[in-house]
Structure 1
Amino acid sequence: MDNTQVGHNFEELAEDYLIKKGYKIIKRNFHYGKLGEIDIVAEIDNILVFCEVKGRNNNNFGTAIESVTYGKQMKLRKAAEGYLNINKITDKDCRMDLIAIDIIAGKPQITHLENAF
């Protein structure tokens, strides 16, 4: 399985998790040119949520949470600003969440950090 498919599988797990928690999925894989990408745009309680999904099949190179760099956080912010501008959204509360998925003993362990950055 290539990295794109692995990433897609983690995003599917994250989407299912969010739906079970009552989130409405608005968009997947929003690209803002070369400035960044948002894995999932969702909404809950009238709050627009920009989600970064990170997954690890093993912890040889650290956990999923540890893999989110400052540079990635800045790209996510730029992509979120782009999403708001393109969709002319000016009056909605927003936040940026991280959904980290680590596969431990063959099972996904999901950590959801609200307002992660």
Structure 2
Amino acid sequence: MPNKRQQYGKESESIAVRYLKKNGYKILEQNYRNQLGEIDIIAKDKKSLVFVEVKARRSGGYGSPKWAVTPKKQRKISMVALFYLKATKQNNVKARFDVVAISSSQDNPRIELIKNAFELAYG
């Protein structure tokens, strides 16, 4: 049984999926995992394959959720994305990294989509 934090994370990802679909994204994968880590959402947006990280905060005490995608996290997501591209034989596809930042206040979440939030990070 998931704890409150895990449950909040699942709810936030569901909110992000609905938001992305409403904005024209086609969801290909959710919670894609391999031995290197996880990507929350893999989607298609017109011409690009999009790797989406979802970050959510219940309060502003720790700052905006968009700042939680640290350089270390960016490198990890990049490595998982490269593995995904190789595993699915998508060598020459246009891809980008987006972040969906969700700030909750009761039943009214504030959603911010940051397209091209970061570049492919190595090392």
Query: TM-score with structure 2 length normalisation?
Result: 0.89
Distance 1:115 1:95 in 2: 6
Counterpart selection for 2:24 from 10, 22, 25: 22
Distance 2:61 2:106 in 1: 14
Alignment length (residue pairs): 116
Q: Which residue does 1:102 correspond to in 2? A: 103
- Residue type at the aligned position of 1:66: W
Deviation at 1:61, TM superposition (A): 1.4
- The residue that corresponds to 1:53 in the other structure is 54
| 1:32-76: CA deviation from partner (whole Å, max 9, x where unpaired) | 21x221100000112100000000011111110122211111111
- Corresponding residue SS for 1:95: strand
Aligned-residue offset at 1:91? 2.1
Map 1:1-12; keep pairs closer than 5 Å.
Answer: 1-12=3-14
Matched, 1:66 2:67: yes
Ranges of 4+ aligned residues in structure 1 off by more than 2 Å: none
Give the superposition deviation at 1:90: 1.0
> Which amino acid in the other structure matches residue 107 of structure 1?
N
Residue correspondence of structure 1 range 82-97 to structure 2 within 5 A = 82-97=83-98
**SS of the residue 2:60 aligns to:** coil
The SS at the match of 1:114 is strand
TM-score, with structure 1 as normaliser: 0.93
Measure how far apart 1:106 and its partner are.
4.0
